[in-house]
């Protein structure tokens, strides 16, 4: 999309698409494509698009977001129920209703990707467990139906009309008190738009994960009670509680560039007790903002430190407020001044590398921040489908360290390529666990190869050849081929369905061989799920006149959800086994 449009609230898009006649709905996707090639001009809070020589379309966005249908005006004869208004809303980024009103952090959280906090009041013992309200059950059912329709159609068939239905369900879920489901539904729509727009940042795994989240949340919510219900509802804003005075030490900074249209930087800090805290500057934007945010001043107190500087310095904070996930608030009563920092080999930062690796992995798999603090020795490279990654020895484990982000504007990939040329180098690193059947993590930061008192943020700093020591050992040979459990046979079908819809699994074929192979590896349940997925996709009955009746969308959605949930949990168990950690208990579905 070449137009620079302001974000539009999901309810506005849903309202405008619903107001179209059936004939105009069929033309909506073509209208969006046509609108993308028209010239536009931004004048303050207003964007004007020249639909043709005589017709102009205006989007008025006070505060940067279009919050009402009346803010999109068109001069054509069919207005206000014209195709142009709905096309503009469908082409614009999706606004987060809470994105401009988070006084605690001054940042925009991505509720679909971050762990959701639970309201402490909802976890107090009660005489009778709280259940979902009728309105919430109805909202969950609508959300499930809209997501099932998207899964049925696949990315090619899930055009603006199906997206608007899911946005309507997301709006209903939000006003019913289900922010977690609403955020997940919006994430699905964002991923669909990225797929249909051939966005290089699109990942099929992200779409499948978003669909699994929205379907799983909607499926479980009507039958949940107590703390489980509170977790499924989620919270629209994380509560911030006073935490007195904090002495913080910068740990590292990482750029943020999401497929949902947000960009910026997050700086991780550690207090004197070894607890992790974050300060973030994330807002709607692209790769330019992700690169530039590191040189913006940290928004806390009166400090002039940038994120890049804070990752190597310290802060003394008074009147601090902290969310349950460790995010620092930036309220009016918070004061902060610059203080001295510490290296990774000095207290209190060095405590992070003390726990055994298996213990860190267990914590990451049970809903922690996902960070791993490792001492490694580089041994070479290994080629994967997504590109080369580093091989390293970590307490006897053959660890794979991959780039945290593939966008060319971020230097992750270039830095890994340089580090790969120095086998034998001993490094202290910060990485994020990536569940896999082999020990694998995304490399975020590392201490300097020549200066142990300094560190490099691999998403922001660029290594130079002069920074590298001479190789201490010859490159290792190719890693041994692992005899892995063939879970990919099921995962591939899950991803195919998310991309191409039900019909891609309904084609005649022999899936029995895949089922037998899964059974030989002790994955009989995976074989049964694969058979049911194919059966649900091909299930088409006929009426008394021999005509095909509509497919059972709900049966296929249930089969797909079961298969997706199973592969996720098996991946977690295999990841724990690869690291020698205790597997996390799976949540009930």
**Tens of pLDDT along 539-589?**
877 777 777 777 788 899 999 999 999 999 998 888 998 898 876 555 444
The residue written with tokens 């694969």 in the block is 530
State CA 339 to chain mean position distance. Answer: 33
Q: How far is CA 552 from CA 124, 143, 537, 539, 541, in A?
A: 41, 17, 9, 7, 9
User: 355-467: same fold as 241-339?
Assistant: yes
Model confidence band, residue 137 (pLDDT cutoffs 50, 70, 90):
very high
Right CATH number for 355-467 from 2.30.42, 2.40.50, 2.60.40, 1.20.120? 2.40.50
Judged by average pLDDT, the poorest of 118-127, 231-240, 376-385 is 118-127
Taking 90 as the threshold, does the pLDDT of residue 170 lie above it?
yes
Q: What is the mean pLDDT of residues 331-353?
A: 91
Q: Who's near 88: CB < 8 A, 6+ residues apart? A: 5, 8, 35, 49, 57, 59, 72
Tokens of 159: 């055009």
Q: What is the pLDDT of residue 174?
A: 93
Q: Domain 241-339, what fold?
A: OB fold (Dihydrolipoamide Acetyltransferase, E2P) (2.40.50)
pLDDT greater at residue 445 or residue 1: 445
Question: Which of 123-137, 232-246, 330-344 bottoms out in mean pLDDT, i.e. has the lowest?
Answer: 123-137
pLDDT of residue 584: 57
pLDDT of 509 strictly over 70: no
Residue 117 pLDDT > 50, yes or no?
Answer: no
Is it the case that residue 116 has pLDDT exceeding 80?
no
| Range 448-464 average pLDDT | 91
565-568 CB contacts, 8 Å cutoff, 24+ apart: 565/212, 565/216, 565/589, 566/490, 566/525, 566/526, 566/529, 567/487, 567/490, 567/491, 567/494, 567/526, 568/212
Q: Residue 163: pLDDT above 50?
A: yes
Residues with Cβ within 8 Å of 53's Cβ and at least 6 positions away in sequence, in order, are none
pLDDT tens digits, 409-430: 999 999 999 998 889 999 999 9
Extents of the domains making up the chain: 10-91, 132-233, 241-339, 355-467, 488-579
Collect all residues with Cβ–Cβ distance below 8 Å to 187 and sequence separation of at least 6: 110, 112, 113, 210, 213, 214, 260
**Helix, strand counts (H, E) of the chain:** 18, 17
Coil, strand or helix at 441: strand
User: In what helix (H) or strand (E) does residue 375 lie, and over which residues does it extend?
Assistant: strand 371-384
Give, for 525, the enclosing helix (H) or strand (E): helix 524-538
* pLDDT tens track for 477-504: 555 555 567 888 999 999 999 999 998 8
Q: For residue 123, what is the DSSP state?
A: G
From 425, 432, 419, 423, select the one nearest 461 (Cα to Cα): 419
Per-residue model confidence (pLDDT) at position 106: 34
218/125: higher pLDDT = 218
Cα(199)–Cα(507) distance, integer angstroms: 29
Share the mean pLDDT of the chain: 86
- Of 84, 30, 23, which Cα lies nearest the Cα of 55? 84
pLDDT at 484: 63
What are 26-74's pLDDT values in tens digits?
999 999 998 888 888 888 889 999 988 888 899 999 888 899 999 999 9
């Amino acid at each position: 999309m070449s137009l620079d449009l302001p974000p539009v609230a999901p309810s506005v898009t849903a309202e405008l698409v619903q107001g179209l006649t059936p004939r105009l709905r069929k033309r909506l996707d073509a209208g969006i494509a046509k609108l993308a090639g028209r010239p536009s001009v931004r004048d303050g809070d207003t964007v004007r698009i020249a639909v043709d020589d005589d017709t102009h379309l205006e989007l008025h966005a006070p505060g940067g977001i279009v919050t009402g249908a009346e803010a999109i005006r068109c001069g054509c004869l069919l207005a206000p129920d014209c195709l142009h208004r709905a096309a503009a809303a469908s082409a614009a980024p999706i606004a987060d209703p809470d994105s401009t009103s988070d006084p605690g952090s001054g940042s925009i959280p991505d509720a679909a990707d971050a762990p959701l906090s639970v309201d402490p009041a909802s976890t107090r013992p009660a005489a009778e467990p709280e259940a979902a309200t009728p309105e919430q059950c109805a909202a969950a059912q609508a959300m499930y139906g809209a997501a099932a329709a998207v899964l049925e159609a696949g990315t090619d068939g899930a055009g603006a009309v199906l997206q608007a239905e899911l946005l309507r369900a997301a709006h209903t879920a939000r006003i019913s008190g289900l922010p977690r489901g609403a955020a997940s539904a919006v994430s699905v729509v964002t991923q669909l738009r990225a797929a249909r727009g051939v966005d290089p940042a699109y990942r099929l795994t992200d779409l499948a994960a978003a669909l699994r989240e929205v379907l799983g949340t909607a499926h479980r919510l009507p039958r949940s009670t107590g703390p489980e219900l509170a977790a499924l509802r989620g919270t629209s804003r994380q509560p911030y509680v006073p935490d007195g005075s904090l002495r913080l030490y910068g740990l590292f900074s990482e750029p943020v560039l999401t497929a949902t249209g947000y960009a910026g930087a997050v700086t991780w800090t550690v207090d004197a007790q070894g607890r992790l805290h974050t300060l973030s500057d994330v807002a709607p934007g692209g790769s330019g903002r992700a690169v530039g945010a590191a040189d913006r001043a940290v928004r806390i107190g009166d400090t002039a430190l940038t994120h890049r500087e804070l990752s190597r310095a310290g802060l003394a904070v008074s009147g601090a407020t902290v969310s349950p996930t460790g995010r620092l608030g930036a309220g009016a009563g918070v004061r902060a001044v610059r203080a001295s920092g510490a290296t990774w080999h000095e207290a209190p930062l060095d405590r992070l590398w003390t726990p055994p690796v298996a213990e860190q992995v267990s914590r990451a798999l049970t809903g922690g921040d996902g960070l791993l603090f490792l001492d490694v020795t580089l041994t070479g490279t290994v080629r994967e489908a997504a590109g080369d990654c580093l091989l390293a020895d970590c307490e006897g484990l053959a660890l794979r360290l991959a780039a945290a982000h593939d966008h060319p504007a971020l230097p992750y990939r270039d830095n890994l390529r340089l580090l790969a040329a120095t086998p034998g180098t001993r490094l202290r690193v910060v990485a994020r666990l990536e569940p896999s059947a082999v020990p694998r993590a995304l490399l975020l930061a590392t201490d300097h190869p020549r200066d142990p008192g300094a560190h490099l943020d691999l998403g922001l700093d660029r290594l130079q050849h002069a920074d590298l020591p001479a190789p201490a050992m010859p490159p290792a040979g190719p890693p041994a081929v692992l005899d892995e459990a063939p879970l990919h046979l099921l995962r591939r079908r899950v991803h195919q369905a998310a991309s191409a819809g039900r019909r891609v699994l309904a084609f005649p074929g022999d899936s029995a061989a895949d089922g037998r192979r899964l059974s030989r590896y002790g994955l009989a349940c995976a074989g049964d799920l694969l058979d049911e997925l194919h059966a649900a996709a091909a299930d088409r009955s006929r009426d008394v006149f021999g005509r095909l009746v509509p497919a059972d969308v709900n049966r296929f959605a249930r089969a797909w959800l079961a298969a997706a949930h199973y592969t996720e949990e098996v991946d977690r168990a295999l990841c724990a086994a690869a690291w020698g950690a205790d597997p996390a208990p799976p949540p009930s579905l």
